[in-house]
């Protein structure tokens, strides 16, 4: 612990009472005696709890409401940088906002593998003196990386990634003594990023945006900027320069991406710009790397982190900038465990620590758009694509006028457009936002639609995996031969299209084309997916068939046509954001076309071309769309102009959920006291998941009422039966 950090919080001498917050569900910090040598506020400690030892954080002075002699001592102080007061503050505020118990929130901030373990040895790799028995291109790349960085040591992954070889190549060189493998007692800092390497020459628009952002970064104050720019306008280039400005200030930066699949491409861009790769934090990294990232973020050994939403809870020392790329993306909302929206929590964290936030999107969420309109966020705009690239021409195919056989989805008009691309040796993308082969498997003998045993949901056929899968609980089973209901054999039929079925149709319709399928079910690893995406980008396919995974951010330079198989899909249902989501998704997916010299086109197959949302997508008058959407939401008093909270009760016992739901509705005084409205209880749209019956209540309130406090007072009144779970979702995104 350095002197600087130790001054941040109070010091407690041995025997003084300290309050320790653990990740155990206890409700409040417990008192312990400070250990020999004392401890500081924020220190990570191990404490006895019943018969066990658990990890926690010294939260402040003890309450002293317990017989001193019976208070137990802190077992030991963990060798890790203490948690900053800003981070403790963030955890408290995030817990209050999301109505999450503090220990559960703390758990997000302590996800460092082996945090409490004694330091173990790790292997690092340096240049040795030997010569390889034979020289290969891969081996040369490894040696060049080591030579380029002088005496620097690398981790195995870092060296392999930098040289673009598998780890076995490095291990082979170790065997021959060409590369030295050494034991190191500590995690390695990440290689330094150099913000002063030359960046790209910026367009005027881009330069203006960078200047505005750099000004904010220099101020050391909090601000949030909505960086809105059409797909391909260079938002990434702009925020990379903001990262550079942040690094020059000596502060750390965090870039959040909505999808791990996008990190590979982004890491290469970081390396190109700053000469080295940043730290990563997402589900695709190893435990060793995870631990290293956590530790180095705390010890200033990581300047830039690229990660998924949970990277927000890393122990930054001096966070200068958070970029939330594709800020409208729904995957920023964590939908199980702690329910939080990483975009909103990024703004919260930033506001507590003098950090700047950039929310980047071509199609911002209405929330962020409204905040910019209201002047709460700054707004920067890039209005044209970089260079000669043009935005795609948008058109509709009226499916009512197209002749299609049953079980076919590619209309003659779309087929002609694809044929023209094949002729011109350009790529087409056929987009359908549905995984699997078909959404419904129907028995033609008895009419049964095969459902999940555990959920109120249909099983989806995945022909690629030769299984039926429940998209709610993930349960799979082999594709049956006979109907599970009536036992008749050979009458099961697929109904409706999924991405796999569309691929099958495309293979039949375009027999000479090379077809690639991109769907999350088709990749064993992030690496396999990265390879396929690179292959497509370099021309390895004529037709790409994909789900929403392709809509996000990928750069396919040869792609000039996007065909949306069912533009109406997202407009069904009663979700309050249905129009917004459809608009965003269609604009995003259309944005994949024409990113280089050749102009692109997007064709939307629709049964309702006069629908206002479809018209807005085609017309491209975004501001008009947002304004109309905003007006409707304002009139209805719903987000972002009103507040909502969803309550889901679930239990294996169906009677209990309805009983408690009813009791909660009858005793909603604390909600009415702040003028909130309560709807429900009603069975949730998916009335059963994993064998638990689900009932929903919905709370609606005006914008500036203390909703969280009212909710807490309301919920406090009820005792939950032992099997019951109650989840409160503040600002719900999903209403299932
Ligand atoms: P966005 O993030 O808005 O979709 P990108 O930053 O990915 O846009 O830029 C789109 C493409 O244009 C990328 O290939 C990028 O490298 C290129 N590009 C953008 N700005 C510049 C620039 N100033 N100089 C050179 N290339 C640029
Ligand atoms: Zn299920």
**What's residue 135's pLDDT?**
85
Closest Cα partner for 659 from 647, 649, 668, 669? 649
Query: 454 CA to middle of ligand 2, Å?
Result: 5
Q: Is residue 392 predicted with pLDDT exceeding 60? A: yes
Q: Which of 199, 207, 228, 237 to mutate to test the pocket of ligand 1 (most atoms within 8 A of CB)?
A: 237
The highest-level CATH class for domain 5-91 is alpha beta
**What's residue 420's pLDDT?**
95
Query: 149 CA to middle of ligand 1, Å?
Result: 29
Which ligand has the nearest atom to the CA of 554?
A: 1
Query: 467 CA to middle of ligand 2, Å?
Result: 13
Q: List the structure tokens of 550.
A: 């392709």
Architecture of domain 393-434+497-629: 3-Layer(aba) Sandwich (3.40)
The CATH label, of 3.30.450.20, 1.10.10.10, 3.40.140.10, 3.30.70.260, for the domain at 122-185 is 1.10.10.10
Which ligand has the nearest atom to the CA of 388?
A: 1
Same fold, 5-91 and 643-730: no
**What's residue 25's pLDDT?**
86
> Phi/psi zone of residue 539: left (φ > 0), alpha (ψ -120 to 50 degrees), beta?
left
**What's residue 289's pLDDT?**
87
Tokens 């730290």 correspond to 279
User: Higher model confidence: residue 323 or residue 50?
Assistant: 323
Q: List the structure tokens of 364.
A: 């911002």
Please state the atom number of ligand 1 nearest to the C-alpha of residue 206.
23
- Tell me what the mean pLDDT of segment 535-563 comes to: 87
Which ligand has the nearest atom to the CA of 255?
A: 1
What is the per-residue pLDDT across 507-546, written as a single tens digit (0 to 9) for each?
999 999 999 998 877 766 767 777 888 899 899 999 999 9
Distance CA 367, CA 344 (A): 10
What is the per-residue pLDDT across 643-678, written as a single tens digit (0 to 9) for each?
999 999 999 999 999 999 999 999 999 999 999 999
User: Higher model confidence: residue 6 or residue 232?
Assistant: 232
Q: Is residue 558 predicted with pLDDT exceeding 50? A: yes
Residue nearest (by alpha carbon) to ligand 1 atom 5: 234
Q: Is residue 3 predicted with pLDDT exceeding 50? A: no
Work out the percent of the chain whose per-residue pLDDT is above 90. Answer: 59
Sign of CA dihedral 322, 327, 333, 334: negative
**Residues 544/514, Cβ–Cβ less than 8 Å:** no
Which residues fall within 8 angstroms of residue 163, CB to CB, at 6 or more apart? 138, 141, 142, 144, 145, 169, 170
Can you spell out the DSSP letters for 549-561? GGTSS---TTEEE
**What's residue 105's pLDDT?**
95
Distance CA 441, CA 446 (A): 12
Tokens 């972002």 correspond to 640
* Order of all β-strands in the sheet with 378-382: 279-281, 304-307, 252-256, 319-325, 356-361, 223-229, 378-382
Distance CA 16, CA 272 (A): 52
Q: What's the length of the chain?
A: 736
Architecture of domain 643-730: 2-Layer Sandwich (3.30)
The highest-level CATH class for domain 204-382 is alpha beta
**pLDDT band at residue 5 using 50, 70 and 90 as cut-offs:** very low
Residue nearest (by alpha carbon) to ligand 1 atom 9: 234
**pLDDT band at residue 121 using 50, 70 and 90 as cut-offs:** low
Please state the atom number of ligand 1 nearest to the C-alpha of residue 238.
6
Please state the atom number of ligand 1 nearest to the C-alpha of residue 382.
3
Query: 580 CA to middle of ligand 1, Å?
Result: 26
Q: Which of 198, 230, 234 to mutate to test the pocket of ligand 1 (most atoms within 8 A of CB)?
A: 234
What is the per-residue pLDDT across 308-318, written as a single tens digit (0 to 9) for each?
999 999 999 99
Tokens 């010890």 correspond to 299
> Phi/psi zone of residue 232: left (φ > 0), alpha (ψ -120 to 50 degrees), beta?
left
Q: Is residue 2 predicted with pLDDT exceeding 50? A: no
Q: Is residue 8 predicted with pLDDT exceeding 60? A: no
Which ligand has the nearest atom to the CA of 473?
A: 2
Query: 461 CA to middle of ligand 2, Å?
Result: 13
**Residues 647/728, Cβ–Cβ less than 8 Å:** yes
Residue nearest (by alpha carbon) to ligand 1 atom 10: 232
Query: 365 CA to middle of ligand 2, Å?
Result: 30
Which ligand has the nearest atom to the CA of 325?
A: 1
Per DSSP, 620 falls in state -
**Residues 170/118, Cβ–Cβ less than 8 Å:** no
Residue nearest (by alpha carbon) to ligand 1 atom 18: 234
Which ligand has the nearest atom to the CA of 383?
A: 1
Q: Which of 386, 392, 537, 554 to mutate to test the pocket of ligand 1 (most atoms within 8 A of CB)?
A: 386
Task: Report pTM.
Answer: 0.86
Three-state SS for 345? helix
Per DSSP, 663 falls in state H
**What's residue 6's pLDDT?**
41
**What's residue 195's pLDDT?**
96
- Tell me what the mean pLDDT of segment 421-440 comes to: 92
Distance CA 108, CA 100 (A): 11
Query: 137 CA to middle of ligand 2, Å?
Result: 49
Which residues fall within 8 angstroms of residue 490, CB to CB, at 6 or more apart? 481, 482
Q: Both ends of the chain: CA-CA distance in Å? A: 47
Residue nearest (by alpha carbon) to ligand 1 atom 20: 234
Which residues fall within 8 angstroms of residue 89, CB to CB, at 6 or more apart? 352
Please state the atom number of ligand 1 nearest to the C-alpha of residue 231.
4
Q: Is residue 150 predicted with pLDDT exceeding 70? A: no
Query: 580 CA to middle of ligand 2, Å?
Result: 28
Query: 238 CA to middle of ligand 1, Å?
Result: 9
Please state the atom number of ligand 1 nearest to the C-alpha of residue 229.
3
Query: 307 CA to middle of ligand 1, Å?
Result: 21
Distance CA 485, CA 492 (A): 11
What is the per-residue pLDDT across 184-239, written as a single tens digit (0 to 9) for each?
767 889 999 999 999 899 999 999 999 999 998 888 899 999 999 988 889 999 99
**What's residue 706's pLDDT?**
94
**pLDDT band at residue 120 using 50, 70 and 90 as cut-offs:** low
Query: 688 CA to middle of ligand 2, Å?
Result: 9
- Tell me what the mean pLDDT of segment 142-161 comes to: 82
Residue nearest (by alpha carbon) to ligand 1 atom 4: 232
Q: Can you give the residue ranges of every domain in the chain? A: 5-91, 122-185, 204-382, 393-434+497-629, 643-730
Please state the atom number of ligand 1 nearest to the C-alpha of residue 233.
3
Q: What is the mean pLDDT of the chain?
A: 89
CA triplet 340, 345, 351: central angle to 5 degrees?
160
Residue nearest (by alpha carbon) to ligand 1 atom 26: 200
Query: 32 CA to middle of ligand 1, Å?
Result: 55
Query: 393 CA to middle of ligand 1, Å?
Result: 20
**β pairing state of 559-564 and 601-606:** parallel
Work out the percent of the chain whose per-residue pLDDT is above 70. Answer: 96
Residues near ligand 1 with C-beta < 6 Å? 200-203, 206, 229, 231-237, 386, 555
Q: Which of 201, 203, 208, 232 to mutate to test the pocket of ligand 1 (most atoms within 8 A of CB)?
A: 232
Query: 391 CA to middle of ligand 1, Å?
Result: 14
**What's residue 7's pLDDT?**
41
Please state the atom number of ligand 1 nearest to the C-alpha of residue 591.
4
Closest Cα partner for 577 from 644, 519, 520? 644
**pLDDT band at residue 389 using 50, 70 and 90 as cut-offs:** low
Please state the atom number of ligand 1 nearest to the C-alpha of residue 269.
16
Which ligand has the nearest atom to the CA of 386?
A: 1
Please state the atom number of ligand 1 nearest to the C-alpha of residue 230.
3
């Amino acid at each position: 612990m350095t002197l600087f950090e130790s001054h941040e919080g109070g010091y407690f001498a041995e025997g003084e009472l300290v309050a320790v917050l653990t990740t155990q569900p206890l409700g409040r910090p417990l008192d312990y005696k400070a250990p020999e040598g004392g401890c500081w506020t924020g220190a990570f400690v191990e404490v006895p709890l019943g018969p066990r030892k658990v990890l926690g954080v010294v939260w402040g002075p003890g309450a002293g409401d317990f017989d001193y002699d019976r208070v137990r001592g802190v077992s030991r102080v963990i060798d890790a940088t203490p948690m900053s007061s800003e981070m403790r503050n963030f955890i408290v505020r995030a817990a209050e906002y999301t109505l999450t118990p503090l220990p559960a929130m703390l758990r997000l901030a302590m996800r460092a593998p082996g945090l409490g373990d004694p330091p173990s040895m790790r292997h690092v790799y340096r240049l040795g003196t030997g010569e390889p028995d034979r020289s290969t291109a891969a081996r040369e790349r490894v040696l060049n990386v080591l030579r380029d960085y002088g005496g620097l040591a690398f981790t195995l992954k870092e060296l392999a990634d930098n040289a673009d070889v598998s780890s076995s190549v490095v291990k082979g060189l170790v065997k021959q003594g060409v590369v030295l493998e050494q034991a190191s007692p500590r995690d390695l800092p990440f290689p330094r990023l150099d913000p002063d390497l030359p960046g790209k020459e910026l367009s005027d628009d881009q330069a203006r945006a960078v200047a505005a952002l750099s000004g904010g970064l220099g101020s050391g104050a909090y601000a949030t900027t909505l960086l809105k720019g059409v797909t391909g306008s260079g938002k990434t280039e702009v925020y990379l320069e903001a990262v550079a400005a942040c690094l020059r200030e000596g502060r750390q930066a965090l870039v959040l991406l909505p999808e791990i699949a996008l990190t590979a491409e982004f890491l290469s861009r970081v390396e190109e710009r700053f000469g080295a790769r940043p730290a990563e934090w997402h589900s695709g990294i190893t435990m060793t790397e995870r631990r290293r990232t956590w530790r180095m973020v705390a010890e200033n050994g990581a300047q830039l982190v690229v990660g998924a939403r949970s990277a927000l809870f890393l122990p930054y020392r001096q966070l200068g900038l958070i970029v939330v790329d594709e800020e409208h993306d729904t995957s920023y909302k964590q939908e199980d465990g702690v329910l939080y929206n990483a975009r909103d929590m990024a703004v919260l964290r930033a506001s507590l620590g003098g950090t700047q936030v950039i929310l980047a999107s071509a199609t911002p969420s209405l929330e962020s758009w409204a905040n910019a309109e209201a002047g709460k966020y700054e707004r920067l705009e890039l209005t044209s694509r970089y260079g000669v690239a043009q935005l795609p021409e948008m058109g509709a195919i009226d499916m009512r006028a197209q002749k299609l056989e049953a079980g076919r989805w590619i209309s003659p008009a779309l087929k002609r457009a694809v044929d023209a691309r094949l002729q011109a040796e350009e790529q087409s993308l056929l987009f359908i936002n549905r995984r699997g082969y078909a959404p419904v498997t129907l028995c033609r003998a008895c009419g049964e639609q095969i459902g999940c045993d555990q959920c109120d949901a249909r099983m989806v056929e995945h022909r690629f995996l030769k299984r039926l899968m429940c998209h709610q609980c993930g349960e799979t089973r082999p594709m049956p031969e006979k109907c599970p209901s009536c036992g008749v054999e050979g009458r099961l039929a697929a109904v409706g299209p999924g991405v796999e079925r569309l691929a099958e149709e495309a293979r039949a319709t375009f027999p000479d084309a090379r077809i690639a399928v991109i769907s999350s079910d088709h990749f064993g690893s992030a690496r396999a997916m990265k390879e396929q995406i690179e292959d497509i980008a370099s021309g390895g396919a004529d037709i790409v068939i994909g789900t929403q995974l392709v809509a996000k951010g990928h750069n396919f330079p040869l792609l000039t046509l996007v065909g949306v198989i069912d533009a109406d899909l997202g407009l069904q249902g009663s979700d309050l954001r249905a129009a917004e989501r459809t608009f965003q998704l269609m604009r995003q997916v259309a944005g994949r076309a024409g990113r280089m010299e050749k102009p692109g086109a997007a064709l939307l197959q629709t049964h309702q071309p006069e629908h206002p949302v479809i018209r807005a997508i085609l017309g491209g008058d975004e501001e008009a769309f947002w304004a109309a959407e905003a007006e409707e939401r304002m009139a209805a008093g719903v987000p972002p102009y009103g507040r909502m909270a969803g309550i889901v009760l679930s239990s294996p016992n169906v009677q209990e959920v309805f009983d408690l739901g009813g009791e909660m509705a009858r005793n909603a005084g604390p909600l009415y006291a702040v003028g909130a409205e309560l709807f429900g209880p009603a069975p949730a749209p998916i009335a059963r998941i994993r064998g638990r019956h689900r009932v929903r209540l919905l709370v609606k309130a005006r914008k500036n009422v203390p909703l969280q406090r009212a909710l807490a007072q309301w919920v406090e009144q009820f005792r939950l039966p032992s099997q019951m779970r109650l989840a409160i979702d503040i600002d719900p995104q999903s209403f299932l």
